[in-house]
């Protein structure tokens, strides 16, 4: 079986070394594409993200990467968003100023209630296949103050903090997946999560 080629989309979103290393250790070929043909040629892509929504969308638009992402989404190949990357899949965000997103997911990004910060390791309550896999390994690292609000049957993992219960932590619908937490910064649990998610999505 030839090794699958995974691209971590490079739009200046910060450090990607942890994710790259983890994926390589899992046996994948990893690249950091930014040009259209580079993105297109990947078997699967990750959209990472650090910082604020409006800045990130601007960066995607200036580079034209947003168009490449839309094409990739339509191709049906697996696409996974992490933290801000996941939020960018939404229709719109209210962080700093109302900004349109990529509109792959019908939902909006709003601030956590009581201006909470969600920083640290937290439990994710999984639904479906993941529930058994992660029964005692369901703690992951979060670092955000905005979240993607949506009503959907495709929320496969939820998390809770004092000010809000059961907000989306893991979303998956067909070839699109997103996580609010950082699997690449969640030590063993994160590695296990990426491994099982990729196996599932690349074999569909």
Please give the Cα distance from 75 to 192 (Å, whole number): 27
Asked if 115 is part of the footprint of another protein (rule: CB under 8 A), the reply reads: yes
Please give the Cα distance from 122 to 57 (Å, whole number): 28
Quote the least distance from Cβ 56 to another protein, whole Å.
11
Q: Quote the tokens at residue 138.
A: 């369901």
Q: Tell me whether residue 182 is one of the annotated catalytic residues.
A: yes
- Count CB neighbours of 180 within 10 A: 28
Judged by CB under 8 A, the residue of 4, 36, 38, 50 near another protein is 50
Applying CB under 8 A, which part among 2-10, 26-34, 101-109, 110-118 lies near another protein? 110-118
Quote the least distance from Cβ 177 to another protein, whole Å.
19
The candidate with the shortest Cα–Cα distance to 56, out of 67, 45, 47, is: 47
CA 25 remoteness from chain centre: 20
Residue among 38, 55, 83, 118 flagged as catalytic = 83
Q: What share of the chain is helix, strand, coil (3-state, %, to 5)?
A: 35, 30, 35
Judged by CB under 8 A, the residue of 185, 192, 200, 202 near another protein is 185
Q: Quote the tokens at residue 197.
A: 């998610």
Q: Tell me whether residue 37 is one of the annotated catalytic residues.
A: no
Asked if 147 is part of the footprint of another protein (rule: CB under 8 A), the reply reads: no
Residue among 37, 38, 182, 200 flagged as catalytic = 182
Q: Which is nearer to another protein, 8 or 176 (CB)?
A: 8
Asked if 164 is part of the footprint of another protein (rule: CB under 8 A), the reply reads: no
Q: Tell me whether residue 42 is one of the annotated catalytic residues.
A: no
Q: Which is nearer to another protein, 72 or 170 (CB)?
A: 170
Segment 25 to 44, residues that bind another protein, using CB under 8 A: 25
CA 167 remoteness from chain centre: 15
Asked if 10 is part of the footprint of another protein (rule: CB under 8 A), the reply reads: no
What is the signed CA dihedral for 7, 38, 48, 93, rounded to 10 degrees?
-140
177 - beta bridge partners? 80, 172
Q: What is the DSSP code (8-state) at residue 139?
A: E
Q: Which residues are catalytic?
A: 83, 182, 184
The site for another protein (CB under 8 A) is made up of: 12, 14-15, 17-18, 20-22, 25, 50-52, 55, 115, 117-123, 139, 141-145, 160-161, 182, 184-187, 190-191
């Amino acid at each position: 079986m030839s090794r699958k080629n995974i691209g971590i989309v490079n739009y200046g979103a910060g450090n990607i070394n942890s994710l790259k290393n983890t994926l390589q250790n899992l046996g994948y070929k990893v690249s950091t594409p930014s040009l259209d043909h580079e993105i297109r040629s990947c078997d699967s892509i990750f959209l990472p993200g650090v910082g604020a929504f409006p800045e990130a969308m601007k960066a995607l638009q200036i580079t034209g990467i947003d168009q490449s992402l839309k094409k990739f989404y339509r191709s049906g190949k697996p696409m996974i968003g992490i933290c801000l990357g996941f939020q960018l899949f939404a229709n719109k965000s209210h962080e700093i100023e109302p900004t349109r997103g990529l509109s792959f997911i019908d939902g909006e990004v709003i601030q956590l209630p009581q201006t909470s910060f969600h920083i640290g390791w937290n439990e994710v309550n999984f639904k479906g296949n993941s529930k058994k896999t992660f029964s005692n390994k369901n703690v992951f690292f979060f670092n955000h103050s905005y979240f993607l609000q949506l009503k959907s049957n495709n929320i496969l993992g939820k998390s809770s903090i004092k000010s809000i219960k059961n907000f989306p932590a893991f979303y998956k619908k067909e070839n699109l997946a997103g996580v609010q937490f950082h699997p690449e910064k969640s030590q063993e649990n994160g590695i296990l999560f990426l491994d099982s998610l990729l196996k599932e999505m690349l074999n569909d």
